Structure 1
Amino acid sequence: MKARYELYYWPSIQGRGEFVRLAFEEAGVPYVDVSRLPAKKGGGVRAMMKLLEGGGRGLVPFAPPFLKVGDFLLGHTANILLYLGPRLGLVPDDEESRLFAHQLQLSITDFVAEIHDTHHPIASSLYYEDQKAAAKKRASLFRKERLPRFLGYFEQALARNGGAHFIGSALSYVDLSMFQVIEGLRYAFPNAMARAERSTPKLAALAAAVAARPRIAAYLASPRRLPFCEEDVFRHYPELDAKR
Structure 2
Amino acid sequence: MRYELYYWTGIQGRGEFVRLALEDAGADYIDVARKRGDSAMMPFLRGKYDGALPFAPPFLKAGKLVIAQTATILAYLGPHLGLVPGGQAAEIYAQQLQQTIADIVVEAHDTHHPISSSQYYEQQRAAAKKRATFFRDERIPKYLDYFESVIERGNGRQALSRHSYVDLSLFQLISGLDYAFPNAMRRMQKRIPRLRALAERIAERPNIAAYLQSPRRIAFNEDGIFRHYPALDPKN
Q: Is TM-score (shorter-chain normalized) higher than 0.5?
A: yes
Secondary structure in structure 2 of the residue aligned to 1:32: strand
Q: Which runs of 4+ in 1 moved over 3 A?
A: none
Q: Would the aligned equivalents of 1:178 and 1:207 in 2 still touch at CA under 8 Å?
A: yes
Matched, 1:205 2:203: no
TM-score using structure 1 length: 0.95
Matched, 1:186 2:184: no
- 1:10 Cα deviation from its structure 2 partner: 0.1
Q: Would the aligned equivalents of 1:56 and 1:73 in 2 still touch at CA under 8 Å?
A: no
Equivalent residue, structure 2, for 1:30: 28
Equivalent residue, structure 2, for 1:163: 156
Secondary structure in structure 2 of the residue aligned to 1:208: helix
Q: Which deviates more from structure 2 when the two are superposed, residues 108-117 or residues 49-58? A: 49-58
Q: Which deviates more from structure 2 when the two are superposed, residues 78-87 or residues 52-61? A: 52-61
2:93 to 78, 100, 103: 100
TM-score using structure 2 length: 0.98
**Distance across 2 between alignment mates of 1:148 and 1:115:** 13
Amino acid at match of 1:5: Y
Task: Give CA-to-partner distance per residue, 1:170-222, whole Å, 9 cap, x none.
Answer: 21000000000000000000000001121110000000000011110000000
Equivalent residue, structure 2, for 1:53: 46
1:85 to 78, 85, 92: 78
**Distance across 2 between alignment mates of 1:204 and 1:159:** 13
Secondary structure in structure 1 of the residue aligned to 2:143: helix
Equivalent residue, structure 1, for 2:206: 214
- 1:162 Cα deviation from its structure 2 partner: 2.1
Secondary structure in structure 2 of the residue aligned to 1:68: strand
State the superposition RMSD in angstroms.
0.8
Equivalent residue, structure 2, for 1:40: none
1:177 to 169, 179, 197: 169
Amino acid at match of 1:81: L
Amino acid at match of 2:173: V
Equivalent residue, structure 1, for 2:142: 149
Equivalent residue, structure 1, for 2:119: 126
Equivalent residue, structure 2, for 1:14: 12
- 1:74 Cα deviation from its structure 2 partner: 0.5
**Distance across 2 between alignment mates of 1:103 and 1:55:** 32
Instruction: Please list, as runs of the form range in 1=range in 2, the aligned pairs for 1:65-84 lying within 5 A after superposition.
Output: 65-84=58-77
Secondary structure in structure 2 of the residue aligned to 1:198: helix
**Distance across 2 between alignment mates of 1:142 and 1:22:** 26
Matched, 1:229 2:197: no
Equivalent residue, structure 1, for 2:3: 5
**Distance across 2 between alignment mates of 1:19 and 1:183:** 12
Q: Would the aligned equivalents of 2:8 and 2:38 in 1 still touch at CA under 8 Å?
A: yes
How many residue pairs are counted as aligned between the two chains?
236
Percent identity, aligned pairs only, is: 59
Q: Would the aligned equivalents of 1:57 and 1:71 in 2 still touch at CA under 8 Å?
A: no
**Distance across 2 between alignment mates of 1:5 and 1:56:** 17
Q: Would the aligned equivalents of 1:15 and 1:232 in 2 still touch at CA under 8 Å?
A: yes
- 1:72 Cα deviation from its structure 2 partner: 1.8
Q: Would the aligned equivalents of 1:56 and 1:72 in 2 still touch at CA under 8 Å?
A: no
Question: Gaps (5+ residues) in structure 2?
Answer: none
Matched, 1:137 2:142: no
Q: Which deviates more from structure 2 when the two are superposed, residues 218-227 or residues 194-203? A: 194-203
**Distance across 2 between alignment mates of 1:86 and 1:55:** 29
Question: Gaps (5+ residues) in structure 1?
Answer: 38-42
Q: Would the aligned equivalents of 2:43 and 2:49 in 1 still touch at CA under 8 Å?
A: no
Secondary structure in structure 2 of the residue aligned to 1:167: coil
- 1:4 Cα deviation from its structure 2 partner: 1.5
